[in-house]
Amino acid sequence: MKLAVTVLASILLACSVTTVSSVNPSAATSAETSSLTAQPSATTNSVFEDWTVFNAEITNSVDLSRLSEDDARLIKKHLKLNEKCKKTKKARGLAESAKLDQERLVSRLDEKYQRLLNKFQGENGSKYGERLLKAKLELEKEQEILVEIEKKCQSLGSDIFGFNLELNITRGKLARRLFGDNLDIESLYLYMEFLKSDLSFVESIYNSLILVLSQQPGSEQASTSETQSSSQYHETPTA
């Protein structure tokens, strides 16, 4: 297990620097780079090959026979939390974009209102009174909308914080159940990072465990339900 941790650490480290090491800054100044397309570096290919081998080894190292229905529920919880966090982050991204658009709109309306206010306060300004009132009401309306969008962004941010906190706790418990209850802090962190970076591994273990549990007496109906529900958590791992 110590060797596996060492390999995992080297792979995660290599993944973190692959993007930097595969870029040649001087190439950007070359006339030949106008149609340049990104090509995988030797380092990138090596990392992916190591990761594939490690993934297969670590999957085989998980002893499903020592896992129970409680562990299946723990894995299912991890998958559900991950999906909730993903959807909430997407919603926050949309809300942040809407907030930016609304801020620009409020800024334009405020400038319009200030121009009309200056004209209203000038000579013969009374003729601008109706337009000024209309601009003021429009500005206040859009400001209220902006406040609501800001509240939504804050609420979604709080939800994401809560999901991430619960997800980290669940991921830590899951790492110990899959890879050993006596993991030291460094090993625990590395395995948690592995679970975070490769959701397909978690899904694979979950489906395999459900299959094992389904072969136990009296668990066929429950396992069938679990297997059907697991399909909703499928997600392509991010790079």
Q: Is residue 7 part of a domain?
A: no
Q: Is residue 126 part of a domain?
A: yes
Q: 2-48: per-residue pLDDT in tens? A: 545 555 555 555 555 444 444 343 444 443 333 333 344 444 444 44
Q: Is residue 3 part of a domain?
A: no
Helices and strands (H and E) in the chain: how many: 7, 0
Is the separation of the CB atoms in 174 and 195 below 8 Å?
yes
Q: Is residue 21 part of a domain?
A: no
Q: 152-165: per-residue pLDDT in tens? A: 999 999 999 999 99
Q: Is residue 26 part of a domain?
A: no
Residue length, the chain?
239
Count of the separate structural domains present in the chain? 1
Q: 101-134: per-residue pLDDT in tens? A: 999 999 999 999 999 999 888 878 788 899 999 9
Q: Is residue 82 part of a domain?
A: yes
Q: Is residue 57 part of a domain?
A: no
Q: Is residue 41 part of a domain?
A: no
Residue 95's pLDDT band (cuts 50, 70, 90): very high
Q: Domain range spanning residue 86?
A: 65-233
Q: CA-to-CA distance for 136 and 114, rounded, in angstroms?
A: 9
Per DSSP, 236 falls in state: P
What is the residue type of 144?
E
